[in-house]
Amino acid sequence: MHLPEPCGPVSARVVEILSAQRAPMSADILAGGSVLTDRDAQLALWTAYEMVYRGFDDVDPCLEWDADLIGLRRLIEDRFECELRAVTADRVAEALARGGEVGDLVLGLVADDEGPHLSSYLRRDATTDQMCDYLRERSVQQLKESDPQAFLLPRLQGRAKVALAELQYDEFGAGDPSRLHQDLYARTLRATGLDPAYGAYISEVSALSLASANVMSLFGLNRRLVAAGAGHFAAFEASSSVPSRRVAAGLARLGLAPAADYFEEHVEADAVHEQIAARDICGSLVRDDPSLLGEVVFGVACALHLDALAGAELLSRWERIDARAARSEAS
Amino acid sequence: MSRTVQVQPCPRGPVLVRGAEVVVDEDGAQHPVTRPVVALCVCRRSSRKPWCDGTHKAIRDDLR
C-alpha cells in the first residue's frame, strides 16, 4: 500500500510529513465545522494512525513516532473527541440518570437505539451495486477488525483483561488462521468482485466511514480513553449479531451466498461477544472503578451515533441515485 | 482427566458455556463446539438453535 492522494490541506500536511518534506505546523490548518464529516481531517487522521498499524510501502517506519506527525494527530484528535463529547452529551446524561447494572445498561442503550434500518434495507431491497457500496465503505474498519481494540489489552487489568483476551482470541480465528475475521471480510470482498487489498478503497470511502474506523484508534491509542474504548467495543459487538443475519440474507437474495460467510460467522460469534464485552469487560471495569461508568457510556454513545450517521448517509445516497435514475427514465 | 465446564447465565439473554466440546440438544442431536465460548439460546426463538442468534432482543419484556 502507498500513501493515499491527499484531498485537502490536512491530509496534504500528513502526507507531506510522512514524505519528509517539512514546513512549520500551523494550528489553524483545520477548517471550522464538523470534523466527523470533514473528509480531509478524517483521511489525515486515518493516514496518521495507519503508521501504528501496517504503514505504507513508501514511508520510513521510523516516522511512526515523528513529533510533527503526533502533534498534528493530537490536533485532529482533540477536535474529534470534543465533537463526539458534544453530540453524545444528552444520550450519556440520560443513560447515567437511568442507572442499573452496567451490562444491562450497555445492552439496553443499543437495544433502544432507533437508528436507520440499513441492515433491513440490505436484506430486502438493496441492489448488488448498493450491497457492494456498503461492503466497500465498511472495508476501512473490517479489514483491520479488532486490531484497534488489541491496544486496549495492556491498559486493562484482572477480569476485564481476561475477558477482552478471550473475545479477541475468537476475533483472531481461535487458533485457526482460516477463521481470522479480518481475512473472512477480505474473502467477502473477493467473492463479490471487490478488491480485498487492505486500504484499496481509502480514496473512495466517505468521511463517516473513515471516522467510524478512526474512533476505534482514538480510543485504542490513547490510554486515558480505555474505558470509552471498552464501551465502544461492547456497543459495536451488540449491534452486529442481528444486522449480520440480515446482511447474510441480503447477500443470499442477490445470489452472493459465497460472500456471506463473514456475516454468518458474526451472527453466532457476536451473540457471544456482546455478552462478554458488556458484562465481563465493561462490567468488570466499572466494578473495579465506578468513576469509569460515564466513559464507558460515552464510548457506547459514540458507536451508536457514528453507526446511525453512516447508515443514514448510505440510505440517502442510494435514495438520491434511485431518484435520479427514475427521473432519467421518465424523461 | 477431569474437565471443567463453566456455565454463565446472562440476564434476559443466553447462557455462556466455556469448556464444552459437544452440546447435545433435546432431540439428542450433537452440536460440536467450535469456539472458545458459546452462547446457548434460552428464549427458544433462535434460528440457530442451540446457539443464540440475538433474537431474544426482539422479544418484548412482558413476553419473556
Residue A115, C-alpha cell as written in the block: 437508528
Can you say how many angstroms the Cα of residue A250 is from the centroid of all Cα atoms in its chain? Answer: 22
Q: How far apart are CA A308 and CA A113, in angstroms?
A: 9
Q: Is B1 a member of any domain?
A: no
Residues paired with A82 in a beta bridge: none
- A8 to chain B, closest Cα gap in Å: 42
Can you say how many angstroms the Cα of residue A196 is from the centroid of all Cα atoms in its chain? Answer: 18
Query: Which residues on chain B are in Cβ contact (under 8 Å) with A267?
Result: 48, 53-54
Task: Supply the angle between the helices A226-238 and A102-112 in degrees, to the nearest 10.
Answer: 50
Sign of the CA dihedral with A63 first, then A64, A70, and A74 last: positive
Compute the radius of gyration of chain B from its Cα atoms.
Answer: 13
Q: How many domains does chain B have?
A: 1
User: What domains can you pick out in chain A, each with its CATH number?
Assistant: 9-80 (no CATH), 98-330 (1.20.910.10)
ipTM of the complex: 0.86
Residue B40 domain boundaries = 6-63
Query: Which residues on chain B are in Cβ contact (under 8 Å) with A107?
Result: 13, 57
DSSP class per residue in A120-148? HHHHHT--HHHHHHHHHHHHHHHTTTTHH
Q: Do B48 and A241 touch (CB under 8 A)?
A: no
Q: How far apart are CA A312 and CA A307, in angstroms?
A: 8
Query: Which residues on chain A are in Cβ contact (under 8 Å) with B11?
Result: 101, 103-104
Are residues A123 and A246 in contact, defined by beta-carbon separation less than 8 angstroms?
yes
- pLDDT per residue of chain A (331 residues) written in tens, 0 to 9: 889 999 999 999 888 888 876 655 666 788 888 999 999 999 999 999 999 999 999 999 999 999 999 999 999 999 999 999 999 999 999 999 998 999 999 999 999 887 668 999 999 999 999 999 999 999 999 999 999 999 999 999 999 999 999 999 999 999 999 999 999 999 999 999 999 999 999 999 999 999 999 999 999 999 999 999 999 999 999 999 889 999 999 999 999 999 999 999 999 899 999 999 999 999 999 999 999 999 999 999 999 999 999 999 999 999 888 888 888 877 7
Q: Is B55 a member of any domain?
A: yes
